Amino acid sequence: MQELIVILVDGLVFSSYLFMVAVGLTVIFGVMKILNVTHGSFYAFGAYMSATLIGAYYKTDWPEFGGFLAIFAAALIVGVFFGIILERGLLRFLYHRDEHIIVLATFAMFLVLEDVLLLIWGTDPYFAFEPMSLLGSVDIVDLTFDVYSLTLIGLAAIVGLGLWLGLTKTKWGKLLLAVIFDREISQAMGINVTVVFTVTFVIGAIMGALGGAYIAPTISVSPGIGVEVIVLAFAVVVIGGMGSIPGAMIGALLVGISRAAAVHKFPEIELFVIYAIMAIVLAVRPEGLFAPAQARKI
Protein backbone atom coordinates (compact mmCIF):
# COMPACT_ATOMS: atom_id res chain seq x y z
CA MET A 1 0.00 0.00 0.00
CA GLN A 2 2.72 2.38 1.02
CA GLU A 3 4.72 1.45 -2.04
CA LEU A 4 1.65 2.01 -4.17
CA ILE A 5 1.27 5.57 -2.92
CA VAL A 6 4.94 6.26 -3.51
CA ILE A 7 4.69 4.89 -7.02
CA LEU A 8 1.59 6.97 -7.65
CA VAL A 9 3.08 10.24 -6.42
CA ASP A 10 6.37 9.58 -8.18
CA GLY A 11 4.49 8.59 -11.30
CA LEU A 12 2.31 11.70 -11.19
CA VAL A 13 5.32 13.98 -10.88
CA PHE A 14 7.07 12.26 -13.74
CA SER A 15 3.88 12.26 -15.82
CA SER A 16 3.50 16.00 -15.32
CA TYR A 17 7.06 16.48 -16.45
CA LEU A 18 6.41 14.34 -19.52
CA PHE A 19 3.22 16.22 -20.28
CA MET A 20 5.02 19.54 -20.06
CA VAL A 21 7.67 18.50 -22.57
CA ALA A 22 5.26 16.67 -24.86
CA VAL A 23 2.38 19.12 -25.11
CA GLY A 24 4.28 21.66 -27.22
CA LEU A 25 5.32 18.91 -29.61
CA THR A 26 1.77 17.67 -30.01
CA VAL A 27 0.34 21.18 -30.56
CA ILE A 28 2.85 21.83 -33.33
CA PHE A 29 2.19 18.45 -34.89
CA GLY A 30 -1.56 18.82 -34.68
CA VAL A 31 -1.67 22.12 -36.50
CA MET A 32 1.34 22.02 -38.78
CA LYS A 33 1.84 18.25 -39.25
CA ILE A 34 5.50 18.74 -38.40
CA LEU A 35 7.37 16.36 -36.13
CA ASN A 36 9.67 18.90 -34.56
CA VAL A 37 13.00 17.44 -33.38
CA THR A 38 14.14 20.98 -32.46
CA HIS A 39 11.75 20.66 -29.52
CA GLY A 40 14.67 19.09 -27.62
CA SER A 41 16.65 22.30 -28.16
CA PHE A 42 13.78 24.47 -26.95
CA TYR A 43 13.76 22.39 -23.80
CA ALA A 44 17.53 22.62 -23.33
CA PHE A 45 17.68 26.36 -24.03
CA GLY A 46 14.77 26.89 -21.66
CA ALA A 47 16.61 25.03 -18.92
CA TYR A 48 19.88 26.92 -19.43
CA MET A 49 18.20 30.29 -19.71
CA SER A 50 16.18 29.58 -16.58
CA ALA A 51 19.29 28.51 -14.64
CA THR A 52 21.08 31.68 -15.73
CA LEU A 53 18.20 34.01 -14.92
CA ILE A 54 17.57 32.37 -11.55
CA GLY A 55 21.25 32.66 -10.75
CA ALA A 56 21.21 36.34 -11.69
CA TYR A 57 18.01 36.98 -9.78
CA TYR A 58 19.28 35.58 -6.50
CA LYS A 59 22.34 37.78 -6.72
CA THR A 60 20.01 40.77 -6.24
CA ASP A 61 18.17 41.32 -2.95
CA TRP A 62 14.69 41.30 -4.49
CA PRO A 63 11.94 39.21 -2.82
CA GLU A 64 12.76 35.52 -2.78
CA PHE A 65 9.61 34.28 -4.48
CA GLY A 66 10.27 36.46 -7.52
CA GLY A 67 12.67 33.75 -8.62
CA PHE A 68 9.69 31.92 -10.03
CA LEU A 69 9.08 34.81 -12.40
CA ALA A 70 12.58 34.23 -13.77
CA ILE A 71 11.51 30.73 -14.81
CA PHE A 72 8.55 31.97 -16.83
CA ALA A 73 10.53 34.86 -18.26
CA ALA A 74 13.15 32.38 -19.47
CA ALA A 75 10.51 30.26 -21.20
CA LEU A 76 8.98 33.29 -22.90
CA ILE A 77 12.29 34.69 -24.12
CA VAL A 78 13.51 31.37 -25.50
CA GLY A 79 10.18 30.34 -27.00
CA VAL A 80 9.41 33.61 -28.76
CA PHE A 81 12.94 34.09 -30.01
CA PHE A 82 13.57 30.59 -31.40
CA GLY A 83 9.97 30.03 -32.43
CA ILE A 84 9.90 33.06 -34.70
CA ILE A 85 13.41 32.58 -36.07
CA LEU A 86 12.86 28.91 -36.91
CA GLU A 87 9.40 29.19 -38.37
CA ARG A 88 9.95 32.35 -40.38
CA GLY A 89 13.58 31.72 -41.20
CA LEU A 90 13.53 28.03 -42.08
CA LEU A 91 10.37 25.98 -41.89
CA ARG A 92 8.17 28.16 -44.09
CA PHE A 93 10.44 27.39 -47.04
CA LEU A 94 9.86 23.68 -46.55
CA TYR A 95 6.08 23.39 -46.18
CA HIS A 96 5.65 22.05 -49.69
CA ARG A 97 8.26 19.34 -49.17
CA ASP A 98 7.95 15.74 -48.04
CA GLU A 99 7.18 15.32 -44.30
CA HIS A 100 10.34 13.26 -43.77
CA ILE A 101 12.44 16.05 -45.21
CA ILE A 102 10.93 18.49 -42.71
CA VAL A 103 11.71 16.13 -39.83
CA LEU A 104 15.26 15.89 -41.08
CA ALA A 105 15.53 19.68 -41.38
CA THR A 106 14.47 20.04 -37.74
CA PHE A 107 17.00 17.31 -36.86
CA ALA A 108 19.69 19.38 -38.61
CA MET A 109 18.57 22.46 -36.71
CA PHE A 110 18.74 20.43 -33.50
CA LEU A 111 22.38 19.53 -34.20
CA VAL A 112 23.18 23.17 -34.94
CA LEU A 113 21.51 24.41 -31.75
CA GLU A 114 23.26 21.76 -29.63
CA ASP A 115 26.57 23.42 -30.45
CA VAL A 116 25.19 26.96 -30.14
CA LEU A 117 24.20 25.95 -26.63
CA LEU A 118 27.72 24.79 -25.87
CA LEU A 119 29.19 27.96 -27.34
CA ILE A 120 27.02 30.13 -25.10
CA TRP A 121 27.08 28.19 -21.85
CA GLY A 122 30.10 25.90 -22.15
CA THR A 123 30.30 22.33 -20.90
CA ASP A 124 30.12 22.96 -17.14
CA PRO A 125 26.84 22.07 -15.45
CA TYR A 126 24.63 24.79 -14.02
CA PHE A 127 22.66 24.59 -10.80
CA ALA A 128 19.71 26.76 -9.84
CA PHE A 129 18.26 25.05 -6.79
CA GLU A 130 17.07 28.22 -4.98
CA PRO A 131 13.37 27.95 -5.94
CA MET A 132 13.43 24.30 -4.91
CA SER A 133 15.02 24.81 -1.49
CA LEU A 134 12.68 27.76 -0.96
CA LEU A 135 9.63 25.48 -1.00
CA GLY A 136 11.17 22.86 1.25
CA SER A 137 9.92 19.31 1.43
CA VAL A 138 6.94 17.35 2.70
CA ASP A 139 6.52 13.84 4.06
CA ILE A 140 4.06 11.51 2.37
CA VAL A 141 3.82 8.16 4.18
CA ASP A 142 7.35 8.25 5.57
CA LEU A 143 8.88 9.33 2.28
CA THR A 144 10.17 12.82 1.67
CA PHE A 145 9.11 14.60 -1.49
CA ASP A 146 10.23 18.10 -2.35
CA VAL A 147 7.31 20.46 -2.73
CA TYR A 148 8.73 22.01 -5.88
CA SER A 149 8.36 18.72 -7.79
CA LEU A 150 4.79 18.42 -6.56
CA THR A 151 3.97 21.88 -7.92
CA LEU A 152 4.86 20.47 -11.32
CA ILE A 153 1.61 18.50 -11.18
CA GLY A 154 -0.33 21.72 -10.68
CA LEU A 155 1.53 23.47 -13.48
CA ALA A 156 0.85 20.61 -15.89
CA ALA A 157 -2.83 20.68 -14.96
CA ILE A 158 -3.03 24.46 -15.51
CA VAL A 159 -1.22 24.28 -18.83
CA GLY A 160 -3.35 21.38 -20.02
CA LEU A 161 -6.59 23.01 -18.96
CA GLY A 162 -5.54 26.38 -20.36
CA LEU A 163 -4.70 24.94 -23.75
CA TRP A 164 -7.88 22.90 -23.85
CA LEU A 165 -10.07 25.91 -22.92
CA GLY A 166 -8.20 28.15 -25.33
CA LEU A 167 -8.69 25.65 -28.11
CA THR A 168 -12.37 24.94 -27.60
CA LYS A 169 -13.78 28.15 -26.10
CA THR A 170 -12.04 31.04 -27.83
CA LYS A 171 -12.36 32.35 -31.35
CA TRP A 172 -8.66 31.81 -31.92
CA GLY A 173 -8.93 28.22 -30.81
CA LYS A 174 -11.77 27.59 -33.23
CA LEU A 175 -9.79 29.03 -36.11
CA LEU A 176 -7.00 26.70 -35.11
CA LEU A 177 -9.32 23.71 -35.07
CA ALA A 178 -10.51 24.63 -38.55
CA VAL A 179 -6.91 24.68 -39.78
CA ILE A 180 -6.20 21.35 -38.09
CA PHE A 181 -9.23 19.84 -39.77
CA ASP A 182 -8.54 21.08 -43.29
CA ARG A 183 -5.78 23.47 -44.10
CA GLU A 184 -6.83 24.22 -47.66
CA ILE A 185 -10.49 24.85 -47.00
CA SER A 186 -9.74 27.14 -44.05
CA GLN A 187 -7.43 29.12 -46.26
CA ALA A 188 -10.16 29.38 -48.85
CA MET A 189 -12.54 30.60 -46.12
CA GLY A 190 -10.20 33.48 -45.39
CA ILE A 191 -8.25 32.25 -42.38
CA ASN A 192 -4.73 33.57 -42.47
CA VAL A 193 -2.97 30.23 -42.22
CA THR A 194 0.49 31.82 -42.31
CA VAL A 195 -0.18 33.72 -39.09
CA VAL A 196 -1.83 30.68 -37.50
CA PHE A 197 1.27 28.63 -38.25
CA THR A 198 3.67 31.17 -36.81
CA VAL A 199 1.62 31.67 -33.65
CA THR A 200 1.20 27.92 -33.15
CA PHE A 201 4.88 27.29 -33.57
CA VAL A 202 5.77 30.01 -31.09
CA ILE A 203 3.26 28.66 -28.55
CA GLY A 204 4.69 25.16 -28.99
CA ALA A 205 8.20 26.51 -28.57
CA ILE A 206 7.24 28.38 -25.38
CA MET A 207 5.74 25.15 -24.00
CA GLY A 208 8.94 23.24 -24.75
CA ALA A 209 11.07 25.95 -23.18
CA LEU A 210 8.78 26.11 -20.15
CA GLY A 211 9.23 22.38 -19.63
CA GLY A 212 12.99 22.88 -19.49
CA ALA A 213 12.82 26.12 -17.51
CA TYR A 214 10.60 24.68 -14.82
CA ILE A 215 12.56 21.46 -14.44
CA ALA A 216 15.91 23.29 -14.33
CA PRO A 217 15.98 23.84 -10.52
CA THR A 218 15.58 20.10 -9.90
CA ILE A 219 18.36 18.86 -12.18
CA SER A 220 21.95 19.67 -13.01
CA VAL A 221 21.64 21.57 -16.27
CA SER A 222 24.33 20.03 -18.46
CA PRO A 223 24.98 19.24 -22.13
CA GLY A 224 22.93 16.42 -23.62
CA ILE A 225 19.65 17.02 -21.79
CA GLY A 226 17.94 17.82 -25.09
CA VAL A 227 18.80 14.46 -26.66
CA GLU A 228 17.24 12.55 -23.80
CA VAL A 229 14.06 14.51 -23.64
CA ILE A 230 13.22 14.44 -27.32
CA VAL A 231 12.68 10.67 -27.50
CA LEU A 232 10.66 10.74 -24.29
CA ALA A 233 8.43 13.44 -25.74
CA PHE A 234 8.09 11.50 -29.01
CA ALA A 235 7.05 8.40 -27.12
CA VAL A 236 4.38 10.25 -25.14
CA VAL A 237 2.99 12.03 -28.18
CA VAL A 238 2.91 8.89 -30.27
CA ILE A 239 1.18 6.88 -27.55
CA GLY A 240 -1.52 9.49 -27.02
CA GLY A 241 -2.04 10.17 -30.69
CA MET A 242 -0.11 12.88 -32.48
CA GLY A 243 -1.81 16.25 -32.29
CA SER A 244 -4.16 15.42 -29.43
CA ILE A 245 -3.83 17.31 -26.13
CA PRO A 246 -5.92 14.87 -24.06
CA GLY A 247 -3.89 12.16 -25.77
CA ALA A 248 -0.65 13.73 -24.57
CA MET A 249 -2.09 13.78 -21.06
CA ILE A 250 -3.09 10.10 -21.13
CA GLY A 251 0.18 9.16 -22.79
CA ALA A 252 2.14 11.03 -20.13
CA LEU A 253 0.18 9.36 -17.32
CA LEU A 254 0.61 5.91 -18.85
CA VAL A 255 4.32 6.32 -19.40
CA GLY A 256 4.98 8.20 -16.16
CA ILE A 257 3.25 5.76 -13.87
CA SER A 258 4.62 2.67 -15.63
CA ARG A 259 8.10 4.10 -15.38
CA ALA A 260 7.66 4.89 -11.70
CA ALA A 261 6.43 1.34 -11.13
CA ALA A 262 9.38 -0.04 -13.05
CA VAL A 263 11.84 2.10 -11.09
CA HIS A 264 10.50 0.78 -7.80
CA LYS A 265 9.82 -2.80 -8.81
CA PHE A 266 12.17 -3.76 -11.66
CA PRO A 267 14.83 -1.04 -12.01
CA GLU A 268 16.62 -2.92 -14.79
CA ILE A 269 13.77 -2.44 -17.26
CA GLU A 270 13.24 1.24 -16.41
CA LEU A 271 14.60 2.65 -19.65
CA PHE A 272 12.90 0.45 -22.19
CA VAL A 273 9.50 0.12 -20.54
CA ILE A 274 8.66 3.49 -22.12
CA TYR A 275 9.50 2.38 -25.64
CA ALA A 276 7.93 -1.00 -25.10
CA ILE A 277 4.64 0.75 -24.29
CA MET A 278 5.09 2.90 -27.36
CA ALA A 279 5.70 -0.13 -29.56
CA ILE A 280 2.72 -2.02 -28.12
CA VAL A 281 0.33 0.92 -28.49
CA LEU A 282 1.51 1.56 -32.04
CA ALA A 283 1.12 -2.09 -32.90
CA VAL A 284 -2.46 -2.17 -31.66
CA ARG A 285 -3.57 1.36 -32.52
CA PRO A 286 -1.09 2.84 -34.99
CA GLU A 287 -2.56 6.32 -34.86
CA GLY A 288 -2.17 6.42 -31.10
CA LEU A 289 -4.86 6.13 -28.46
CA PHE A 290 -6.62 9.44 -29.11
CA ALA A 291 -5.98 10.41 -32.70
CA PRO A 292 -9.10 11.17 -34.72
CA ALA A 293 -9.80 8.77 -37.59
CA GLN A 294 -8.50 9.93 -40.95
CA ALA A 295 -10.24 9.40 -44.24
CA ARG A 296 -8.15 7.48 -46.73
CA LYS A 297 -7.61 9.52 -49.87
CA ILE A 298 -7.47 7.57 -53.09
Partner 1 sequence: MRHVDKTVTGLTIAFAVLFLADFFMAEWVRFIGLQSLARGAVALGLLVLWRTGLVSFGHALYFGIGAYAAAMLTLIGYHDAFFLVFAGTLASGVLAFLLGFLLRRYRAIFFALLNMAFSMILYGVIVKTEELGSTDGFSLHPPTFLGYAPQGEAVQTTLFIFTLVFTYIVTVGVHLYLKTTLGGMSMAVRENEIRVEYLGYSAEKVIHVKYVFSGLVAGFGGAIMALAIGQVDPDSMANWNVSGEFVFITILSGIGNVGATYIGALVFELIRTYAFEYAPQIWQFILGGSLLAIIMFLPDGIWSLVDRLRKSEG
- Contact set with partner 1 (CB under 8 A): 35, 37, 90, 93-94, 97, 99-101, 103-105, 107-116, 118-119, 227, 230-231, 234-235, 238, 242, 268-272, 274-276, 278-279, 282-283, 286-287, 298
Q: Which is nearer to partner 1, 62 or 272 (CB)?
A: 272
Instruction: Please say which residue, 45 or 57, places its beta carbon nearer to partner 1.
Output: 45
Instruction: Name which of 90 and 134 has its Cβ closer to partner 1.
Output: 90
| Least separation in angstroms between CB 43 and partner 1 | 15
Looking at beta carbons only, is 37 or 175 nearer to partner 1?
Answer: 37
Q: Helices (DSSP H) in the chain: which residue ranges?
A: 2-32, 39-57, 67-89, 99-121, 130-135, 147-169, 171-181, 183-188, 193-215, 225-240, 245-265, 270-284
Whichever of 130 and 287 has its CB closer to partner 1, that residue is 287
CB of 107 to partner 1, least distance (A): 5
β-partners of residue 140 are: 143
- Minimum CB separation of residue 39 from partner 1 in Å reads 13
Minimum distance from residue 296 beta carbon to partner 1 (Å): 8
Identity of the residue, 173 or 223, whose beta carbon is nearer to partner 1 in the bound complex: 223
In the complex, least distance from residue 37 CB atom to partner 1, rounded to whole angstroms: 8
> Is 217 exposed, middle or buried (CB count within 10 Å of its CB: 0-12, 13-18, 19+)?
buried
Is 38 within 8 Å of 51 (Cβ atoms)?
Answer: no
Q: What is the largest CA-CA distance in the chain?
A: 66
SS (H, E, C) 130-189: HHHHHHCEEEECCEEEEHHHHHHHHHHHHHHHHHHHHHHHCHHHHHHHHHHHCHHHHHHC
| Residue 29, CA distances (Å) to 43, 46, 112, 204 in order | 17, 20, 22, 9
Taken as a whole, the chain contains a residue count of 298
Strand partners, 126: 221
Q: Smallest gap, in angstroms, from Cβ of residue 102 to partner 1?
A: 9
Minimum CB–partner distance for residue 269 and partner 1 (Å): 7
Tell me whether residue 8 or residue 104 sits nearer to partner 1 (CB atom). Answer: 104
Smallest gap from Cβ 106 to partner 1, in A, equals: 10
In angstroms, rounded to a whole number, what is the distance separating the alpha carbons of residues 94 and 106? 11
Q: Would you say 130 or 270 has its CB closer to partner 1?
A: 270
Torsion of CA 79, 82, 84, 87, to 10 degrees: -120
